[in-house]
Homo-oligomer: A and B are copies of this chain.
Amino acid sequence: MADEAPLRLQDHLCFAIYAAAHAFGQAYRPYLEPHGLTYPQYLVLLQLWERDDRTVRELGDGLFLDSGTLTPMLKRMEAAGWVARRRDPRDERVVRVTLTAKGEALRRQARAIPEALGCAARMAPEEMAPLRDSLTLLASRLRGRDEEAG
């Protein structure tokens, strides 16, 4: 009976998020590609621009990525000359990632990007903030965190 029409693809919140993530990736491309950057690499640099000298684990905690993703990405970024990777002498298990001069310089060229994307989205900052906060809360609930954080 109700066996038909379980839920249309377009009705799914998860698909709206999936599609928006793809659209953002595509929207960033023309701004990042001239620098040879990909979007996930840009996210790594955003973290390092905010605070330099982070471990692989710290970067992964911030982006929800593990070493299986980060290790090869950071090696590519090292080969491109934006970051340096070296073992912490005090704990040889830890790899610390730092910006090079080239990675620092990229920061200045990248400052215009967020504003450009905001224009492409044609959305005012006042609209973006609650949307962002709703999504952050949703993600934290999906991860099973936040317990009684209400």
Asked if A107 is an interface residue, CB under 8 A from chain B, the answer is yes
Number of copies: 2
Please state if B9 and A46 are interface contacts (CB–CB under 8 Å): yes
Please state if B114 and A141 are interface contacts (CB–CB under 8 Å): no
Count of chain A residues with a beta carbon within 8 Å of a chain B beta carbon: 58
Please state if A64 and B120 are interface contacts (CB–CB under 8 Å): no
Contact with B along A60-74 (1 / 0, CB 8 A): 001110000000000
Return the chain B residue nearest A133 by Cβ.
Answer: B16
- Of the stretches A18-26, A79-87, A95-103, the one at the interface is A18-26
Contact with B along A104-126 (1 / 0, CB 8 A): 00011011001001001111000
Return the chain B residue nearest A9 by Cβ.
Answer: B46
